[in-house]
Structure 1
Amino acid sequence: MGPYARAGLAGIMSCGVLLTAVLIGRPDGTYDNARDERPQPGPYVALGDSYTSGPKIPRQTGTPVGCDRSDHNYPALVARQLGVRASHFHDISCSGATITRLTSPQTTSNGTNPAQLSALSTRTRLVTLGIGGNDIGFGSTVTRCVTMGSLYRATSGGRLFSDTAPCKKQYVDGGTDEVAQKIQATGRQLSAALAEIERRAPKARVYVVGYPAILPAEGKGCGKELPLAPGDATYLYDKEKQLNTMLREQAEAAGAAYVDTYSPSVGRDACSAEHTRWIEPLRPTRPAAAVHPNAHGEQGMADAVLRAIGD
């Protein structure tokens, strides 16, 4: 990324102006700090999919309505905490978005979202990007595995072993892992997208936001909340970890920062207690889409982004 992208955000003025700590590199590897903490206007652009937009979390806001944005999703919470003026905050995240929707319009059930990168400009100083899950079809994979897990339990009399994985067999054939291949392909797409973000917003600090824990730690079952066969639960757990690893690697390769939302969410997955979980199960008990963050989860993700900005 450019010099602003490597420096990070140092603070914020009360009027909503971000202070960007800028380090200007010299050929000998030293830095000129003369421009450190120079006030810069702080437009913030939030890009991403439904884990960013916050479907069904009150209050739904913005256009198009079909993008399912909440005014309590993590971008909105970050903007408020930083004091970013409303006119400088652009949340263009959209439920169902894939990486291709960063550069092309997305038709939703209620309106069309413009290409997300169209919100960027040379004035942009902060970008958060949470995307990739739809590119690997993770939501549909979870749904399929839950369906197969329920069927397997019903037909086997409930007898399950730690290696029982009827769904995994559908994705791993002869040592070839279909989901792993999709993660690799998505990594290449993300690399190109991050380069385009750099081109359009060269002075922005970019944060790639990972996914919080959806399932409990490897080897633990999920019970009636997400009735997966034990081996399938382990498989999905592994795939989410691989997805986040790819997001981290691509962020670092592009000179962007990676926001780890997984570590603070451990023990707050969709199978945890109602009052502690960040992710709702198939039958949500709080306002949120199934297998998506609730308001508590969006707050936790916002806290992770704010910690990254403050580092």
Structure 2
Amino acid sequence: MPRAASTSTNHRPGRRRWRSALTGGALLATALAPWAAPARAADGAATGPYVALGDSYAAGAGIPAASGGLCLRSDHNYGHLLAADLRTSAYRDVTCAGAKVSALSAAQTDAGIPVNGPQLDAVSRETGLVTLTVGGNDLGASDLGFVDAVALCTALAPTNPFGAPCRDHYKDTLGTRLDAAAPRLTQTLRTIRERAPHARVLVVGYPSVIPADAKRCLGKLPVTTGDITYLRSVLGELNSMVSRAATAGGATYVDTLGPTEGHDGCSAEPWIESLLPASPTLPLHPNTTGERVMADAVLRTLGH
């Protein structure tokens, strides 16, 4: 969705992106054969260039040490960890916080100012491995995506504390947005296949942001129990959409929800932080451990 232009010097893109994330936290307090793996040296190291694409979950936004300017990219995101594990000969990280599916093929802007170029520009015929996590921001009216939905659920909770006011508000809206994003993601994955015909392309799903047992969030997340269940279902629909698009686009889906189950923001040992992160990261995003677990899920898919 386009962002509204700002006329104040206090609303520069970098500040807006951090404030948007912090404000969200405050409001909350076809079937194709497997593609060839990248070429490897005798010691098992990846020799083909590796390109990481995607949104804030792929960028590790908010985790020190940050790089990538307005994209809030961290050198502790799962792509960097994976590149180190694979000992790849070349690695390029073009992930960016706030990226939607459209940001893979078109420039990403903030208040009309360029934030990141088209991420697919980093993919070439020589590319040996591509990972991406994207689709979550297509749920929301802004670049906060799933966080938008949780923020609204928080705001609506007092209107019906024992019901599911957020679910009643959205009705089929979020499902419709996911349906619209699915063909765009599929086409993007096909474009990656055309540009990098020998690459292994892995679509990394979203981790366990919301627990399966809604009661675990009582007193920890200011959302009604009914809407916790609803948000978990939305997370499931998001991962299902991403998985289907991966299959249709000739890529491999990597499940990260299962490996992070029981370590959401309502847990005693969170790998995905809650609305007010206890470890450095954005609200409802993986911390350093969460990114490590996501990298390990990709490694297992690659056969390591």
Q: Which of residues 19, 37, 51 is equivalent to 1:8?
A: 37
2:298 is paired with a residue of what secondary structure?
Answer: helix
- 1:306 corresponds in structure 2 to 299
- TM-aligned CA deviation for residue 184 of structure 1: 1.1
- Kindly report structure 1 stretches of 4+ aligned residues shifted beyond 4 Å: 9-16, 108-111
2:137 is paired with a residue of what secondary structure?
Answer: coil
> When the two structures are superposed, what TM-score results if normalisation uses the length of structure 1?
0.81
- 2:73 corresponds in structure 1 to 69
Cα 1:117–1:167 change in 2 (3 A) is same
Alignment of 1:1-311 (within 5 A): 6-9=35-38, 12-14=41-43, 16=45, 18=46, 41-61=47-67, 63=68, 65-85=69-89, 88-108=90-110, 112-137=115-140, 138-149=146-157, 151-152=158-159, 160-161=161-162, 164-172=163-171, 177-273=172-268, 276-310=269-303
Structure having the higher Rg: 1
The runs of 5 or more residues in structure 1 that have no matched partner are: 19-40
- TM-aligned CA deviation for residue 5 of structure 1: 6.1
Cα 1:180–1:15 change in 2 (3 A) is closer
Task: State the distance in 2 between where 1:71 and 1:123 align.
Answer: 23
- TM-aligned CA deviation for residue 9 of structure 1: 4.7
1:79 is paired with a residue of what secondary structure?
Answer: helix
User: Superposition RMSD on alpha carbons, in Å?
Assistant: 2.2
Cα 1:281–1:219 change in 2 (3 A) is closer
- Note if contact 1:132-1:186 (Cα within 8 Å) is conserved in structure 2: yes
Cα 1:15–1:263 change in 2 (3 A) is closer
- Note if contact 2:190-2:250 (Cα within 8 Å) is conserved in structure 1: no
Identity %: 44
Task: State the distance in 2 between where 1:301 and 1:49 align.
Answer: 14
- TM-aligned CA deviation for residue 230 of structure 1: 1.1
- Note if contact 1:43-1:125 (Cα within 8 Å) is conserved in structure 2: yes
Task: State the distance in 2 between where 1:139 and 1:12 align.
Answer: 42
1:117 is paired with a residue of what secondary structure?
Answer: helix
Normalized per residue, the structure richer in strand is 1
Count of residues in correspondence between the two structures: 268
Cα 1:13–1:89 change in 2 (3 A) is farther
RCO greater where, 1 or 2, for CA within 8 Å and sep 6 or more?
A: 2
Post-superposition Cα deviations, 1:7-45, rounded to whole Å, max 9, x if no partner, equal: 3358555595x2xxxxxxxxxxxxxxxxxxxxxx41000
- Note if contact 1:221-1:228 (Cα within 8 Å) is conserved in structure 2: no
- 1:30 corresponds in structure 2 to none
Post-superposition Cα deviations, 1:62-98, rounded to whole Å, max 9, x if no partner, equal: x3x000111110000000000013xx10000000000
> When the two structures are superposed, what TM-score results if normalisation uses the length of structure 2?
0.83
- Note if contact 2:62-2:280 (Cα within 8 Å) is conserved in structure 1: yes
Task: State the distance in 2 between where 1:67 and 1:103 align.
Answer: 16
The runs of 5 or more residues in structure 2 that have no matched partner are: 1-29, 141-145
- Note if contact 1:45-1:91 (Cα within 8 Å) is conserved in structure 2: yes
